Chains A and B, each alone.
Chain A
Amino acid sequence: MAFAGRRDVPEPPDFGILKRLARDQLIYLLEQLPGKKDLFIEADLMSPLDRIANVSILKQHEVDKLYKVESRPAISASDQFCFLVRPRIKTMRYIADIVNADKMSGRSRKYKIIFSPQKFYACEMVLEEEGVFGDVTCDEWSFYLLPLDEDIISMELPEFFRDYFLEGDHRWINSVARALQLLNSLYGPFGKAYGIGRCAKMSYEVWRDLEEESEADGQGRKPEIGNIFLMDRAALVADTDYVTALCSQVVYEGLVDDTFRIKCGSVDFGPDVTSSDKSIKVLLNAQDKVFSQIRNEHFSSVFGFLSQKSRNLQAQYDRRRGMDIKQMKNFVSQELKGLKQEHRLLSLHIGACESIMKKKTKQDFQEMIKAEHSLLEGFDIRESTSFIEEHIDRQVSPIESLRLMCLLSITENGLIPKDYRSLKTQYLQSYGPEHLLTFHNLKRIGLLTEQSAGETLTAVESKVSKLVTDRAAGKITDAFNSLARKSNFRAISKKLGLIPRVDGEYDLKMPRDMAYVFSGAYVPLSCKIIEQVLERRGWLGLEEVVRLLNGNEFSVSDSAVEDNPTWESQRVILAVFLGGCTFSEIAALRFLGKERGCKFIFLTTAITNSARMMEAMIEAKA
C-alpha cells in the first residue's frame, strides 16, 4: 500500500479534563447539601461514576452510606438523603414514596435530587403530582461525556436508541447538542461539519443554536479537533445501517463485548477465564499493553499473536538462568515488575480467548457466520431461512434468533409473508407468547418487517392472472415479488461496494480494507460513508446513495474558523454515532485512520452491539 503517502497519525487530545470537570461539579453539588448524608445512586450511573470518582472522594464530602436506587424501600437513620439519578418517571415515584412515607411517620429529612445529565419537566410534574415538590431540591449534574479510552467518549445513554428510534421521543437531542458544545469549547472550534440522518441534523441545529447564543469566542483559537461527522445509528427509516450492528462481531474487542459484555470500558472475567475461583474486573483500554495490540485484530490473528507474545515472555524469564548476582538484582528491580504485569494480562486474554472459543463452538458459530455472509451477499436465502428456523426451534438463544431474523429482513427488504408468519409463530412457541410485543416493536422500528405482496404490481398481476390458471398465477406472483424485492440494502451495498469482490483468499492478517472487521465479507456502511465524504470533502457525487438513505445530509464549513491545512487538527475527526456505535465500527475507522494518516475520535450515545439492540426492543414489566 501507499506507505510513502502515509502520514503520522496525530495524537488524540487529552480527554482527562472531562473527567475532572464532571468530578468537580459533582463535588460542588454534594457540598450544596452540607453535613452527613446518604447517597442513593441509580444503577446505570454506578459504573460511569466509578470511572471518575471513588468512595473516598464521596466520603470526603460527607457521604455516609451508599445505596442503590431500587424498588425496595430504604431504611436509614440519616437526616439527609441525596439521590443521584437519571431523569426517569419511575425513579421519581420511588423517591416520592420515600418522602411520603417519612411524612406519614412524622420524620423530617432533607432531600436532594441530582439529575444526570439533565432534569426533565416531566419529572418535576411527577414530583408535583405526588405532593413532594418543594420538599425536595433539584439540581443537574451535567455529566454528558465519559471518556472510556483515549479515543472513545461515551454519553452512557443506551436508552437513546429506544427513546428516539422506537418511540420517536426527542428528549436526548438537547443533551447531544450540549455535549457537542462542551467538546467544541474545549477542543474546537470544529471547522467542518458533515452529517447524515434526521436525528443528526436536528442535533446539529440545536448545537448551532446553542453556539450562537453563547458569547464564547472560539475564534482564533487553535483547535485540537478539526472535523466532526454526525451519524444516525439508523440513518433513518428501516434500513441500511442496522446491518452493521446486527452482524456477529469477529474483531477481538467486539467478540469480547459480545461474549462478556464490556460495561463502561471494563469487563468482568469470570472464573472460566481467570482459571481461579474469583472473577476479575479488568479495564480494557489503550493502557493494557497486550489488549491494545489485539483489540482491533480479527480473532483468527489473535492466537498467533498471543502465542508469539508468550514465547517472548518465556524467553525473557529464561534469561535469569546464568545471571550473576548483580545482573539478577538488576533484573528484579527493573524488569520483573513489567514482566509480571505482562504475564498477568497475557494469561487473562488467553483465558478469554479460550472461553470465547468454547462458547462459540457450542453455538455453531461457524454455521451462523456462514448464514450471515449469505444474507449479506443475497445468496441461498432459503437455506439461511431454514437455518434461522432451526435456530429458533432448538431454543438456542432468544436474542440471537431475533438478530438473525432482523438481518434477514433488512437485507431482503422484509420477509415474505409466509416466512414472516411461520418464523413468528415458531418464535413465540419457543421463547414465549409475550414476544408478540417484541415483534410489534421490531415492525415499528423497521428492523423486522413483512413484505407487502408486491404493492405496485398488483394491478398487472390481476390482469395476468385472468389469463392463466390459478397455479401459474401463483408462480407469477412469486416472480413479481422477487422483482419488487430489490432491497435498499442491496442497492446501497452495490453502489458503495460494501461487499468486496476478492479473488482468492482474503488475508485477514494483512487486511486491505475495512471489510476485515467482518472477515472480508462486508464493509460497515457507516464507516464507508465517512470515508467517502471525507475523501470528497462533502456529499458531491454521492447523490444516489443519499437518496437511498433518505437524505438529511449536510456539510458545513465554518468560514469564521481559520482553515489552516498545516494544523494537525485538520486530521482529527470527531465521529459522532447517535444511537450507539459498535466495536467493529471503531476498529474499522481506526484502520482507516492509520491508512489515511488521520485520527478518529468516537463520540457515541453508548457502545452497542446486536444483543443490546435486540434487548432494547423487548417489553419489560413495569
Chain B
Amino acid sequence: MSRARADEEEYWHSSKFRAFTFDDEDDELSQLKESKRAVNSLRDIVDDDDDDDLERVSWSGEPVGSISWSIKETASSSTSSLEGRDSSLQKGSSSYAAFPKQVSSYSLSSLFKGRNKLPSFQSLSDALSDTGVKNYTPELRRPKAEYKDYGSDWSPRDTVRRMQRGKVCSLERFRSLQDKLVLLDEAVAGHDGNVITAVLIFLKRTLRREILFRELEVRQVALCHLIHFLKETGEQKLLLDLLRFLDRTEEVALSQYREHLNIQDVEKRREFLKGCIGLPFSAEDTSHIQDHYTLLERQIIIEANDRHLETAGQSEIFRKYPRKASILNMPLVTTLFYSCFYHYTEAEGTFSSPTNLKKTFKIPDKQYVLTALAARAKLRAWDDVDALFTTKNWLGYTKKKAPIGFHRVVEILQRNNAPVQVLQEYVRLVEDVETRLNLATKYKCHDVVIETYRDLKDRIQLTAYKCKVERGSAEEDKINSILNNMQIRWKN
C-alpha cells in the first residue's frame, strides 16, 4: 500500500501533467471565488436596469416563444390555443423580421418549383441557381406520372437506384429466386440501408423463411438489416427462428431475456425470469440470470414484509426513516444497502438480513464492507461502524482492519457528517503519512496532525500548526507540551 502511494506521489511530482487539482483549498478556486465576488459586487449596478438584453425565459428555462416552451405550455393547458399568447410572442416574431423581406413577396411555393428565374431574388438565388434544385424539392411537386411507373421494366440495378432516390417501384416483377437475390445484392452494393430493408421486406413476404434464412447466411450485411428490422418491428418469433437457424444460441437467449424489460408486473416478471434460467446462455451468464431471478424473488418477499411493517407503524426504524421508494427491481448492492439500513441486526436465517444476502450472492468482502459502512454511517450508528472494522486475534487483542483503504473509509464517514472524534480514529489509520496529514488537516482532526508531526519530528510544521488551533484550547496545550519536551530530537 505505502509503496503504491509512494509511486503515486512520485508520479505526480515528476509527471508532466501539471497537477490541476480539484481540491477545495486550491488556489485556483479561491481565484475563482474572488472573481465571483468581484462580478457579484457589480450586480447592484446592473440589476436595477431593465433586462432587455436578456433572453426571455419561462420558469422551465426555455426561452419564451421557443417551440419547446410552447409544447410544454400546450401540455399543461391543452385547451387553450396559441391565440391568447400573442402578446408574449412579440419577441419571437422579431426574429422573423430578420428573415429576408423579398421572400414574402413571392409565394413560398415558387421557391421549390425549380430554377428561379427572377433576377431580384437575391439571397437565395446564389444558392439555388446553379445547384440541382430538386434536392430540396419535396416529392409532391413532381408530376404524379413520374413515380407511378409500375409497368416499366427496370433492371435490378435501376430499380435499386430509383428506390434510393425515394421513388416508388414495384418489386412484384422479381419472382424467380435468382431475380430476388440479384435485387438484394444490388441493394447491398448501393449502400443504402433503407433500400436494403425494403427489398428484405419484399423477400420476407415472398419467400419461405428457411430459404430466406439460407440465402442471408451468406449475405452478412443484408442479414444485419433483417435482424435490426425484426428487432424494431418486434417480430420476436421470426427473429428467434432466424437466430436459431444461424446457431447463434447465445443471442437467442439474450433476445428472450430482453423481453423482461417490458414486463411491468413483478410477479409476472419473476415467473418470466424463472423461465429464462434454462435458456442457452454461457455458463457464466446462466449464473447471472439465476441471481437475477433469486434477487427479484427476495425483493418481493422483503417488499411485502416491509410494507406491512411500515403501515403497521410498529417498527421504529420505518417510522423514523420512511422508505422513499420500493426495493423492487433495484440492483443487488442497493438491496444490500437497504437491508443494512433497515435489517442490520437480523439473524442470518431471514431473507432480509445482510449476512443472508452476502452468502446467497457471494458478495465479496470489499463490496460488502463499503455498502454496510455507507448504510450504517448514514444512520450515524458509529458503534456499528466500529464493529465493522474491529477484528480480534486469538489472544483477544482487537485490531482495526479494512478490505478497503482507510482513506476511503474516512471519505465515506465524512460525507455522512461523522463527528471529529469518530473521523479521527480512522484518519489515524491511514497508512500513508502524506495522505493522513492531508485528510487530518482538511477535516480538522487536530490530534492526528499534532501526533503525526511529532512522530515526524518536524518542529517547524508543528509550530506553524499552532495558529490553526483555537487559542487556549487543549490542542494548543498539547502542542506546547510537545514543543517543550526535551526528550524529542527534532529534525529541524
Contact = CB atoms under 8 A, between A and B. Distances in A.
Interface of A: 17, 20-21, 23-25, 27-29, 31-32, 41, 46-47, 49-50, 53-60, 63-68, 75-76, 88-90, 118-122, 125-126, 139-142, 163, 167-174, 178, 181-182, 185-186, 202-203, 205-206, 214-218, 221, 268, 278-281, 298-300, 303-304, 306-307, 309-311, 313-314, 317, 336-337, 340-341, 343-344, 346-347, 350-351, 353-354, 357, 360-361, 365-366, 369-370, 373, 380, 383, 389-390, 393-395, 421, 424-426, 428-434, 436-437, 440, 502-508, 519-521, 619-622
Contact of B191 (A17, A49, A173, A178): A173
B195 interface: yes
B370 A354 contact: no
Nearest to B82: A59
A20 B61 contact: no
B300 to A, nearest CB: 15
Contacts of A390: 366, 370, 404, 408
A55 B193 contact: no
A56 B198 CA distance: 39
Contact of A221 (B11, B130, B193): B130
A55 B291 contact: no
Nearest to B55: A281
Nearest to B49: A340
Given A214-B132, A344-B53, A436-B254, A139 B138 contact: yes
A140 B166 contact: yes
Contact of B40 (A54, A281, A347): A347
Interface of A is mostly: helix
Contacts of B231: 167
Contacts of B285: 436
B22 A360 contact: yes
Nearest to A502: B16
Contact of B257 (A139, A431, A436): A436
Contacts of A31: 108-109
B62 A431 contact: no
Nearest to B60: A279
Contact of B17 (A268, A281, A506): A506
Given A340-B46, A622-B261, A121 B198 contact: yes
B317 to A, nearest CB: 22
A347 B36 contact: yes
Contact of A55 (B21, B67, B130): B67
Interface of B: 4, 7-8, 11-12, 16-18, 20-24, 28-29, 31-36, 38-43, 45-46, 49, 53-55, 57, 59-63, 65-71, 74-75, 78, 81-82, 89, 92-93, 95-96, 99-100, 103, 108-109, 111-112, 123-124, 127, 130-132, 134-136, 138-140, 163-164, 166, 190-198, 201, 220-221, 224-225, 227-229, 231-234, 250, 254, 257-258, 260-262, 284-285, 288-289, 291-292, 295, 329-334, 361, 363-364, 366-367, 370, 404, 408
Contact of B331 (A206, A346, A430): A430
Given A55-B92, A57-B96, A24 B111 contact: yes
A216 B39 contact: no
Nearest to A168: B224
A185 B57 contact: no
Interface centre among A32, A347, A620 (most CB of B within 10 A): A347
Contacts of B71: 41, 46, 66-68
A306 B35 contact: yes
Contacts of A174: 164, 191-194
A139 B138 CA distance: 7
A55 B89 contact: yes
Given A31-B109, A46-B68, A314-B38, A300 B18 contact: yes
Nearest to A318: B42
Contact of B108 (A17, A24, A280): A24
B81 A278 contact: no
A167 B228 contact: yes
Nearest to B85: A55
B67 A41 contact: yes
Given A300-B18, A353-B32, A393-B367, A142 B136 contact: yes
A431 B233 contact: no
A79 to B, nearest CB: 14
Contact of B39 (A125, A170, A281, A313): A313
Contacts of A504: 16
B184 to A, nearest CB: 13
Contacts of B39: 310, 313, 343, 346-347, 350
Contacts of B258: 437, 619
B262 A622 contact: yes
B70 A55 contact: yes
A431 B194 CA distance: 36
B201 A125 contact: yes
A354 B36 contact: yes
Contact of A341 (B53, B61, B138, B225): B53
B32 A357 contact: yes
A122 B232 contact: yes
Nearest to A59: B82
B24 to A, nearest CB: 6
Contacts of A373: 17
Contact of B225 (A169, A370, A425, A433): A169
B340 to A, nearest CB: 14
